[in-house]
Each structure stands twice: as C-alpha cells, then as structure tokens.
Structure 1
Amino acid sequence: MEIKHVDWLNFLARWSEEWADAHGHVDELSPEDAAARRGRWLGADPATEADIAAMEDRLGRAMPPSYREFLRVSDGWRHAGGFVWKLAGTREARWHNDEMGLGEDFDEFWGEEDNPEEVRAQVGLWSRALQLDVESDITFVLLDPEDVGPDGEWAVRVWASWRAEDPERYPSFAAFMIAMHQEWHTLAPDRSSREGGPTFVNGTTRTQDAAVARARTAALSGRHEEAAALLEEAGKYGRPYAHELLDQIAQLGGTRGRGVQMPHPDNPRFLSEQLPLKAADLLNSGRPPEDWHYSDPAVFPDTAQTAADIQRAVREGTYRYRPGGAFGEAVHEAREQARWGDTDAAWQVLRAVIPLWEPLGPGHIAPVGLLADPLLAPVLTAERRLELLRTPRGGESGPAPAPAGDRNPDGLSWLVRPGALRPWQTSTSDYRMILVEGIAPDELPALLGSSPGTPLSPPLRQWDVTRHHRSGQRIFSSYDDKALLSVGRAGPDWSFAFEQDPSAGFDTPRFVSPAPAASAPGGRAIVIWHERRRGTPVFHVSAGEGGTPRYAFTVRGGTLETSAGAVPVELAPPALGFDAPDADGQASAAAQALDAIARIHAVTVPRLALTEGRLHTFESLSWSRPPGPGETYTTISIG
C-alpha cells in the first residue's frame, strides 16, 4: 500500500473484517472484542472536526496529517498489531509523563557524542512525545512532535520493555498503522492454529501469496531484484516462503544472517542446503561447536547424527555439497578443478550447468548449498553469485546475463603488487615457490616431502596451514628450513608448490635449491624466492632439469650476489633492471622476471585459490643445508 495515499476507510474496514473472520471461532472474548467481531469493525465512530479541534486545543498542538485523517474515520482503534490492544482517539491521547522514569537513562545513552545524529535526536523523547497507547503489553506508541517530515508528518516511535532495543521508528502514523496491520498478519495464523481455528485466508493473504508465486517465477527467470521487492513486501505479512526465498537471494547477494527459521527436518532442503550453511556460519562466527543444537537427539531425533557429521565435516573442511542430476555431476567436476587451484575453470563448469539446476521444492530458488562447500564457496565471488542469480534456471527462461570475468590474472607479476597475497592489506608479501613440469600436484610430496610417505593435507585455508602441520611441534632449528607448501596446477602439464611469508629469510651460503630434486622424473623445475619485507630486497631464481641444476641467480639489494649456469637471456638481471638503486625499481625488475618465466614456460599460479580458497598442503624437505664443521646454529625447545 502506498503510504502517502492511504484510503483509511477501506484499509480499516478490510483490517476489521480480517480480524473478525480470524476470531469467528473464539468463544472467550471481552465484551468490547465481541462487539467488534459482531460489527466487523475494530474502530470507533468517526471523530468530528469539533472533536479534533478540542483535542488540539487541549494538547496545544495541531495533529499531523495522517493521524487527523485516521481520526476522521475512526476515533481510536483496537488491536493495533499484536501488542497494542487499544489505540488512543481524540479523548485518550495525552502527553507522555514518563511514569516509568525512562527518560534519564535513555537520554544519557542517546546523548553520547559519538552517537549518530539520528540517535542523539531521540534525546528528550520521553518528555515531549504524545502517547497513543491506551492498553498494551508494556508497549509505548509515541508521536514525536520534534521529528517532523517535509510533509508535516510526525514520526511514530514504538518501544516495548521486553524487546530491550531502542524505539522503532516509523516516519508517520500511516506508516505505523500499515506496519501494525502487517505485524498482526504475521501473528494471526499461528494464534489461529493454536486456538483450533480455521485456516487464515483472506484477501490480503491471497494477494501476498500470489506475489510470492510471481516472485519465485521472477527469481528463477533471473530477475532477482524484481523478486526481492515482491518478497520484501510479502515477508512483512509473514507469508509462507517469502523470508526463505528472500534469504536465498540475500545469501547469493553477499549478505547473511537474516535469522530465517530453518525448514522442518522433513524438508529436503534441511540437510542438503540450510543445515550446512548454518554450520558454516557457526564456524565463521568463532562460536564453540557446543552451540550446535541441531545435533541434539532430544530436539532433532531423526537428523541429529547427520547434523553432527555435517558440522564436523564443515569444521574440518571436508564437507561436500552433493546435489543430484547433471548439476550434481558438474559440482563434482568443479570441486576437482577448485581443489587444485583452478577456480576459473571450476566456475566455467558451474556456469554451464546453472540452467539445468532444479529446485527441491517451492521454498527453493538457488543452489545456496554451494556456499557451504569449502572448495566451491571461494569460487563464488560476489560477481559470480550475481551472475548465478541472473541466470534462468529451474525450468524458467530469460536472457542470459553478461558473464563475470576470470579472477586469476595472467602471468606472475601480480605477486609483487601491494596486497597481492593479502587483498585486505596494501603491504607486499614474501613468498617462495616451485614450478614443476610433468608432475601432478598430488605427486609433489613424493619428490619434495620432508620424509618418506609425506601426505597431502585436506584442503586448507592459508591461515590454517601452520596450525595443521605444526600444532604439536616443540623443537625448532635455525638450520632446518622445511617449507609448508600449498599445491595446485600451474598451467598445462605444470604444477606449483607455494609458501607465503616463509619463516626463514633467504640465506645465500646455506640455501639448497629443491629444483634438481623436483625435476628428477625428467621434466623441468623452477624455484623462485622473493622477499621484500626484511629490509633488503632479495630475488632468487634457480632451475633444474632431469635432476640436474641448469642455472641460478640471486639479486640482493640491487647487486647480483650469485650466478651459475646459462641464465636465459630473458632473465638476465642487468637487462631486467635489477641494478636499480631503489626498492621500487628492483620490484619492477622482479615483475619483469616473473612475467618472463610465465611466458617461457606458459605457467601461472592462482591468486583466488591462494588468497581466499583452500588448497592441499604438505611439509617439504629443508631448503637449507645442515651446518658444516665449525658452523653454529640455534635450536629452540618449547615446553
């Protein structure tokens, strides 16, 4: 309903008829409510102009427009929403006298200097407002004469002691009454069912249910913004599926935590879509696993064990989203791409089959369960989630959206850009990596593992790698430099192993390149170590082939520190400008060297997987040689 043009007579008559029908089966009503049911009218007789004038003379203020228009139709109202049982007319409205002594505490809190202006504007509310509630469940309805809009409307503020929140603001009395009609609609079906009454159906419910149906069709056709507008309105009336469908749009639109009620455990979406998302939310919130009440057999006897298994899998990063049909087959393929770092290829697989996706019921419009899959959730960037929302699916048709672009940059020079490996920061990151030809990522531990049979971890987030591999380690040695390497595909027939911010700095005399060991099966291997955060920039490249060293060079602070073998012309340090006197010039030279390596070998490493995704990891052999005769080293023992 358009708030600026309320047809008060029809609006109030419809509300009264809906209320009377909903209470037609209730025997125990107050005399006033029984009369309202018989007369099918919750209001009173219209106020005359003399009544309104007398009220305004008594209160010393002209009333705002929509309240005056309401009074001309009904001089008061019963059951405004669920918690205000009688609303004031011309005779009952009075200035609030703060009998509960709320003003002092609220004003002190609202008046704090760091509060926003709209919060500080509430100071003095309890001493200046016009009180409209006559009978209520400790709920105050206050017209604020100092919060006046350009149309002359006074804002209405509603406060209930049991809500423990600031007063809720409505821009006008008309807006308040429409919201109370909506509030009553959200509560009436539940109360009617508890009291054994008939199904709550009326013109309003039929209108809003039809809007939900149109919204669902629009959403499945890719018109999610149109759908969201319809669902927002229907949700205010508590219509079935409105909040659930809107929540799915919000989840893919990047917002979470709307507090939507979970579907019943019998609903197929409970275990496959919503429960894993709840588990992911719990994990990301940092709350303890004990907060997971879905695994309580006393509450969920049929699904508790499955819920516990889902929570554990999400916490360990092993949960897998498993929809059925052709879409499910594509999800499996996309996971295989994502777990080796090829997130762009994973999205291309998913994008191709979104039109084939089928909902699990009328409360389902999108495969939001993807967002709980630890490998596929990072693939769904904000742009890709919107593309998914805009793609027709579930048997509906519509224009295909413009495709979201790839996220992984070409070449390797992006590694030296500020924030490259920490998008939430502007600083650069140190790193070391190995590029290996002819070897699959899962074969790298056999070549470079710290011990025979070194396993790959489950896919891990970057911040979990050290804790996973070294949570129980108590002895650390300065000569033992084992890297914790994330692995994946680096291009056609190439794999990578990558460590961000090595704990040890590059030590030229003691460094042992793993390139020969990595190339032992017969291909080529390239090691790159780049650090800028330890004061003096260092850039090192070494290469091996067939188990034999081929070339290597190290530049430290603009000086060629070491060089061995036939360094390719494209990587000659002087030609690239490594002799620049400043750090920025040396960073530019490193960028050129990285892109030259990428061009020569057609390799890259995936930024999205390294920064936001999960990758398998392992502990490598030491990149430093043991101490020689007479050399000293430090060993630290903890605990």
Structure 2
Amino acid sequence: MTGTTAIDWQSLLLRWSGEWADSLPDGETQDEDDETARRARWLGFPPASEERIAAMEERLGLRMPPSYREFLKVTDGWRHAGEFVWLLAGTENARWHNDESGLADMYEEFLDEDAGPEARREAGMWRRALQLDVESDITHVLMDPEDVDEDGEWAVYTWASWRAAPPERYANFLEFMRDMHREFHRLRAGQGDGEPEFANDTTRRLDTLVEEAGPAVLSGGWERAVKALDEAKEYGRPRAAGLGDQIRRLLGETYMVYFEGLVTDPRYAPELLPPLVAEHARSSQDDSTLTFHLRGAGEDVVSLAYAILDQVRDGAYRYTVDGPFGEAVERARELARWGEADGAWRTLMDALPLWEPLGPDHLAPLGWVADSVLGPLLTPERGRELLSTPRGGQTGEAPRPTAGLDPEGLAWLAEPDPGDNRTCFRFVLVEGVEPQELPGRLADGDGTKLNGPMTFWEAYRRSRRNQREVSSYDDRALMAVGRAGTGWSFAFDGDPAPFDRRRFVSPAAAAGEGTRAVVVWSGLRTRRGSPFFHLSVARDGAEQYAFTYADGEIRQSGEIPRALDPSRYFDDLEDGAEVERSLLDAVAGEFGVHLPRHAIVNGRLHTFATRSWTRPPRNGETYMVIRTGRDEAQPEDGIRTGEDGPSSR
C-alpha cells in the first residue's frame, strides 16, 4: 500500500463523525438522515464491496486512485465533507463532470501561447474530471485523471463561485479529506454563545501544543514549535495564528500575517500593532482593511493603531521599550541611522536575553520592525538568529551569530545592485568629523540641515515635491550620510547627474577645511556616455592631488601616491567593473575606509542636498532654467553675463 493510502480511514472517519455529532446543539439537524447520522455517530455509509467498486470502475472506464478506493472500502460516500459539501459521491453517484459547470470555455479563453502545462491541464479539467460533489453549496469537487502522481493518485480540485478564487488543488483524495476535517474544525471553533463547547480529543491535543509552544519559542526552540502552531492554526485553535504570526514576521513574511486573536488585546497591541500597521501602510491606501483586522478591538487599541499609521506614513514611528533592552534599542538606532547596521544588530542581540515579554503570548520583540531606522536591519537569517536566542527568562543554547552584511572596503560598489541600477555613483569622505557635520561643509543655506532617515527614492520624491526651479547648470547632489569606518564620515549619491569634465568642480577642498577629504566619482560602467573616473584628495582646504579619466584620456595634478597612480589602471578598459574594483580597493586601502552596503542599498539614512558640483556658466554660455509654479512649468533660456567661475579639472 502506498504512503498516501496507508492511513487508517476507519479511525479518521469515526473521530470526525463523533466530533460532528457532539458539536450539534439539540434539534439542529436539518433532516432525518442527519439525525440518523448523529445518533449513530457516523457520517458515512456502509462500506462498498470490491464488486461494487469494480462495477463503478467499469462504468467509468478507469481504475480509481488508491486513496479513494480505500475510502470506499470503509464508506460508500460521505456526508458533510467540510461545511459546503453536504454529500460526497460513492460508487453509484460519482460521474464525469463533462463541463457541467460551463467553466471550460472561460478557463480556455484565458490561455495564451505562453501558457504552461499546468495552466492548460487546469483549463481542460472541466471536461474530463470525475465529479464527487453530489449536494453542495455551489461547490464543485473534481478529481482529475490526467493529474496523476507516481503512486497513481489523482489530484483533487475544489471550486466555489462565491470564493472568487481559482480552483484549490490537493495532491490526492486523502489530502482533500484531511483538509475538509480541518475546515469543519475551523468553523466549529468559532461557534457563538449558547452552542455546545467544541472540545474533543483533537482540540485538547492541539491546545496542549499551543500551550507548550510559548516557552519553547522563548527558549529558542521555535522550529518545532512553529510546526505545532501551524497545525493548530489549520484547525482554528485560539491563539495559534497570533503566536505563529510573530514567528513568521521575524522570518520576513508579511502575507496574511495579522496576529489574529492577540493584536486587539491591549497588553500586546503596542508590540503587534506596529508591524501590522506598517505592512498596511506599505500595501494599501484603503484604511477600511486595517479596521477589518482590528474588529473586536476597543477604542483605545483602534486609536493607537491610527496614531501609529500616521507616524509610519510620515517616517516618524520610533520603537521604544522599557528596561535594559530598551536602552540597547536606543544605542542600536543611533548606530543604524549612521549606517552601522552590523553593529546595531549585534547591540540588539547582545541585549536580547534581557528582553521581557508583555504577557504569556508575547514571543519576541516585534515593534522594532516598523521603525524606519531599525526595521531595515531585519533579514530572514537575522530573524532566525533572534528566534533562536533564549529570552524572556528562558534558558537555552545561544545560536551562532549571523554573518555581517557589510563587506570591508569599497569594492562592493563595483558589483551590480539588485536592480542593476547603480552603474554610476559618487561619494565624499571626510576625516575627523561626524556625519551630521557634512552638510555644513558641502551645502549652503537650508541645505545645511539633514533630512530624517529615509530611502534614497523617498528622499528624491520629497525633494522634487518642494523644488520650484531647476537649472541645466546646477548639479545639487542628493546625498545620504553616515560613518565610513574609524574616524571617517561619508556622503553618498548612487544616482548622480551626467558627468561633464568641462564644468565639474570637486567639493574636496571645501569639505577638507581643517581636515582631509576624498572625492570619488565613478562611471566606468555607466550607460550614459563614455566611461570615466575621478579622484581628488584635499587637506586643510587645498587640493593635494587629483586625476580624471574621461574620453580615453587621463588628466592629473599633484603628487599622487603610487597605489592610486591612474597609469596602473587604465591601460585596458575591456572590463570596466574590474578596473573599478581595483581602484576602489586602492582607495579603501590608502585611507582605511569602507561604505556600508546594507544601509545604502536597503536601509534608511539621513540625506541632504549639496551645493552644485558644477561651476557657474561663463560669459556667453547658454543654459535653461525651469521654474514651476503651483500649476505650471515655464522653461526659459538664459545667457550668463557675470564673472567666470572656477575652472574645472
């Protein structure tokens, strides 16, 4: 007998029947057959003989799949397969569907020439499948003789018009019946007042698993616990979904994660509302869906949810928690907002054993994932580390720390980013100053203030909303700031304007007042124009040395250290990425700096707009200014008539 048919059908079906009979209030049965089934504690029928099964197979022209055949030997049909199929076929009333539903044309109409075999098989199912539903709530149960596994099992598909969803597939008849048993449990678990308590051996076993899951997860044994919670959730057991969702969210999952049964509890709302609200803010503008997930919550919880929603949408939500772990959260945020993601994560993990849950159903700190600065620290690997770390007063073996996300040096900039968009970039490194001091060295006026932490694209969209004038001669870089290693700070632009050697003015001298500054602008992999690379180094407000490779030529000044000598790198540009990598390695080695990949690519950093990286127009040079009013934009041509600006290198 195969693995799918090695089930004890008799035990499963007897248990199901008894649970069904006990769940009915007195007088609820709708007809005499149901009342008979209730008294007999049996939802089935007499077993089918081998002769009856053989006769059925001769009538239909095919041998039935193993799990359905074994089922028929126990009962020739079944009542109440879940809540929406009231009678399931036995040997006499199983029949070919022959597109009785009229759905074949609709599914075939959506097929195109690129449709795969699974889509074509599903579309054709309506004409060839065996129909098992005899009485139902507009629900079809079809068994497909052309969707067969190595054990000879046919896949089962269910479809209901009121679900507005594609057919649901089960690997075989056994899996379908198991899920119908779970569906029966899920719907009975939510019975209202006045109905019998839904308690039986199945619910008691699952509720014990739920009770044991909390301490197991807190001690680091989350992997076995989550399997138990998932099983209990499938049967609709209280708290199972809310506990399991805490684990899933820390593994990076957000789909269908609602912390059901716990998020509306005022004890847990401060920790569970932020991740729920943050995902809502990311994926929806319809706030009624948030209310749906808060049904049953008190006014205080609903008000808190909408207050958090406003903060999340403004990028202002800040996770706070009491105690030693809360102090670590503040230290971690300070590190993360300047790009030190690995240090921030280690700070959180070192303090995690001191974290205290808000109640017995609180398995881990969750609110921080909605924090605009701390949230980007989470990866699935880090989530597993957190879940594997004993906390909340429990003991256990600490896990091995996850590897850091930030490589040493600068060479990672020569690698494609996730969307292969970073083919050009520029940055400024300043020694001996804090990141918040960089606007004072690289910007004028209002630009000397840092924006709050945000992604580059969030900062870009916000800057464009407030921009009323754009000049073709201006190149005011929007740059993210942070720490670039011991004693250095950086300003980084991952999407710079086109490089124009004739008008470019390095900001190194201004940035290096009273200290040392390094400017790098690389376009060796650019898709806009010819490849180029610029390096300039200044000390105490004066440029020490610089070189620019552009248009196949090198222009240089000052005494360039041997490690940075451009003649070592530009003999052969067949592989621009390799040349770029070598140059970046040399810069990192010369100055002992690095840039934080995770914060730049995935995190949120403070940003500001620099003064222009290009000189003012000279006499007779034309340029365009675009000024936008509230409702219109007007381009204007202009001719510069003032003094010449500084020369470019």
Could you say which residue in structure 2 is the equivalent of 1:528? Answer: 520
Deviates more, 1:79-88 or 1:220-229: 220-229
Work out whether residues 81 and 181 of structure 1, in 8 Å CA contact, stay in contact via their aligned partners in 2.
yes
Displacement of 1:201: 1.0
Q: 2:584 aligns with which of 591, 594, 606?
A: 594
**What's the CA shift for 1:181?**
0.9
TM-score normalised by length of structure 1: 0.89
Secondary structure at 2:466's aligned position in 1?
coil
Equivalent position SS for 1:318: coil
Q: Which residue in 2 is equivalent to 1:153?
A: 153
Match of 2:78 in 1: 77
Larger deviation, residues 472-481 vs 178-187:
472-481
Alignment of 1:353-368 (within 5 A): 353-368=351-366
SS of the aligned residue for 2:509 comes to helix
Q: For 1:193, give the aligned amino acid.
A: G
Q: Provide closer, same or farther for how the CA distance between residues 259 and 108 of structure 1 changes in structure 2, counting only shifts above 3 A.
A: farther
Alignment equivalent of 1:378, drawn from 365, 369, 376: 376
- 1:432/1:46 CA distance change after superposition, 3 Å: closer
Q: Aligned letter for 1:240?
A: P
Counterpart secondary structure, 1:634:
strand
Provide the rounded CA distance (Å) in 1 between the counterparts of 2:204 and 2:295. Answer: 38
Question: 415, 419, 428: which one pairs with 1:418?
Answer: 415
Aligned residue type for 2:140: F
CA RMSD of aligned residues (A): 3.0
Partner deviation per Cα, 1:240-268 (whole Å, 9 max, x = no partner)? 23333333333333332125464455424
Structure 1 residues 165, 602: closer, same or farther in 2, change over 3 A?
A: same
Distance 1:145 1:624, change over 3 A: closer
Counterpart CA distance in 1 for 2:67 and 2:426 is 69
Q: Which amino acid aligns with 2:564?
A: L
Paired position in structure 2 for 1:326: 324
Name the aligned partner's letter for residue 419 of structure 2: W
Query: Partner residue of 1:455?
Result: 449
Which one is further off, 73-82 or 587-596? 587-596
Residues 116-195 of structure 1 mapped to structure 2, 5 A cutoff: 116-190=116-190, 192-194=191-193
| Equivalent of 1:303 in 301, 304, 317 | 301
- For the residues of structure 2 that align with 1:594 and 1:145, how far apart are their CA atoms? 61
Residue 549 of structure 1 pairs with residue 543 of structure 2: yes
The alpha-carbon distance between structure 1 residues 97 and 454, as it changes in their structure 2 partners (threshold 3 A), is same
Q: Distance in 2 between matches of 1:53 and 1:402?
A: 59
Q: Who is 2:336 aligned against?
A: 338
The 2-side partners of 1:270 and 1:147 are apart by 46
The answer to whether the Cα contact below 8 Å between 1:142 and 1:157 also exists between their aligned partners in 2 is yes
Q: 1:330 to 1:51 in 2, by over 3 A?
A: same
- Residue 565 (structure 2) pairs with residue 567 (structure 1): no
Count of residues paired in the alignment: 625
Paired amino acid for 1:582: L
1:78-116 C-alpha deviation (Å, 9 max, x unpaired): 21111111223333333335444333333444x544333
Residues 436, 3 of structure 1: CA spacing in aligned structure 2 closer, same or farther, 3 A cutoff? Answer: same
- Cα distance in 1 for partners of 2:256, 2:316 equals 26
Aligned to 2:436, the other structure's residue is in SS state helix
Q: Is the 8 A contact 1:450 1:622 kept in 2?
A: no
TM, length-normalised to structure 2: 0.88
1:483-502 alignment to 2 at 5 Å? 483-502=477-496
How far off is 1:287 after superposition? 4.2
User: Does 2:624 correspond to 1:634?
Assistant: yes
Match of 2:131, as an amino acid? Q
Question: Does the Cα contact within 8 Å between 2:67 and 2:173 map onto a contact in 1?
Answer: yes
CA shift at 1:350, angstroms?
1.5
Whole-angstrom CA distance in 2 between matches of 1:56 and 1:184: 30
2:601 alignment counterpart: 611
Alignment-derived partner of residue 582 in structure 1: 573
Question: Could you tell me how far 1:407 is from its partner in structure 2?
Answer: 1.6
Q: CA deviation at 1:459?
A: 0.6
Q: Report the Cα distance in structure 1 between the residues aligned to 2:533 and 2:64, rounded to whole angstroms.
A: 76
CA distance 1:62–1:215, change in 2 (3 Å): same
- Cα 1:619–1:453, aligned 2, differ >3 Å: closer, same or farther? closer
Paired residue secondary structure (1:37): helix
| Conservation of the 8 A alpha-carbon contact between 1:451 and 1:621 | no
The 1:601–1:130 alpha-carbon spacing in structure 2 relative to 1, beyond 3 Å, is closer
Q: CA deviation at 1:437?
A: 1.9
The CA deviation at 1:290 is 7.4
Shift of 1:526: 1.9
Say if 1:526 and 1:544, in contact at 8 Å, map to a contact too: yes
Which one of the candidate residues 422, 441, 458 is aligned to 1:464? 458
**1:294 touches 1:307 (CA, 8 Å); kept in 2?**
no
| SS at structure 2 position matched to 1:633 | strand
SS across alignment from 2:334: helix
CA distance in structure 1 between the partners assigned to 2:518 and 2:128 by the alignment: 76
Amino acid at match of 1:370: W
**In 2, distance between residues paired with 1:435 and 1:118?**
55
Contact kept? 1:185, 1:237, Cα under 8 Å: yes
Residues 42 and 77, structure 1, Cα contact 8 Å, conserved in 2: yes
- Of 415, 420, 427 in structure 2, the residue corresponding to residue 433 of structure 1 is 427
| Alpha-carbon offset, residue 374 of structure 1 | 1.7
Which secondary structure state, in structure 1, belongs to the residue aligned with residue 122 of structure 2? coil
Equivalent residues of 2:246, 2:259 under 8 A apart: no
Range 311-320 or range 444-453, more displaced: 444-453
Residues 297 and 558 (structure 1), Cα distance of their counterparts in 2 relative to 1, 3 Å cut = same
Unaligned runs of 5+ in 1: none
Letter in 1 for 2:309: Q
1:119 CA displacement: 2.8
> Could you say which residue in structure 2 is the equivalent of 1:409?
407
- Structure 2 letter corresponding to 1:540: H
SS of corresponding position for 2:253: coil
Summarize deviations over 1:572-616 as a string: whole Å, max 9, x none: 333x334x142536x655544433333333222211111111111
- Cα distance in 1 for partners of 2:200, 2:604 equals 51
- AA matched with 1:144: D
- Residue in 1 aligned with 2:642? none
Distance of 1:593 and 1:75 partners within structure 2: 77
The one-letter amino acid of 2:542's match is T
- Contact (CA 8 Å) 1:294, 1:304: kept in 2 or not? no
Partner-residue secondary structure (3-state), 2:470: strand
8 A Cα contact 1:481 1:504, kept in partner: no
Query: Is the contact between residue 436 and residue 526 of structure 1 (CA under 8 Å) also seen in structure 2?
Result: yes
The 8 Å contact of residues 265 and 271 in structure 1, kept in 2 or not, is answered as yes
**Are 1:148 and 1:155, in contact at CA under 8 Å, matched by a contact in 2?**
yes
Q: Aligned partners of 1:550 and 1:129: how far apart in 2?
A: 80
Compared CA separation, residues 559 and 155, structure 1 to 2 (3 A): closer
In 2, distance between residues paired with 1:290 and 1:543? 56
For 1:452 and 1:71, the matched residues in 2 are separated by 80
Q: Provide the secondary structure at the position in 2 that maps to 1:433.
A: strand
- Contact kept, 8 Å, 1:262 with 1:274, in 2: the verdict is no
1-structure distance, mates of 2:153, 2:622: 82
3-state SS, counterpart of residue 476 of structure 1: strand
Equivalent residue for 1:255, pick from 253, 256, 279:
253
- CA distance in 1 between counterparts of 2:74 and 2:35 reads 21
- More displaced 10-residue stretch of structure 1: 315-324 or 284-293: 284-293
Which whole-Å deviations, capped at 9, do the CAs of 1:268-291 have from their partners, x for residues lacking one? 476434332233323433646676
Cα distance change of structure 1 residues 466 and 169 upon mapping to structure 2, 3 Å threshold? closer
- Give the corresponding residue for 2:10: 9
Contact persistence 1:609–1:615 (CA under 8 A): yes
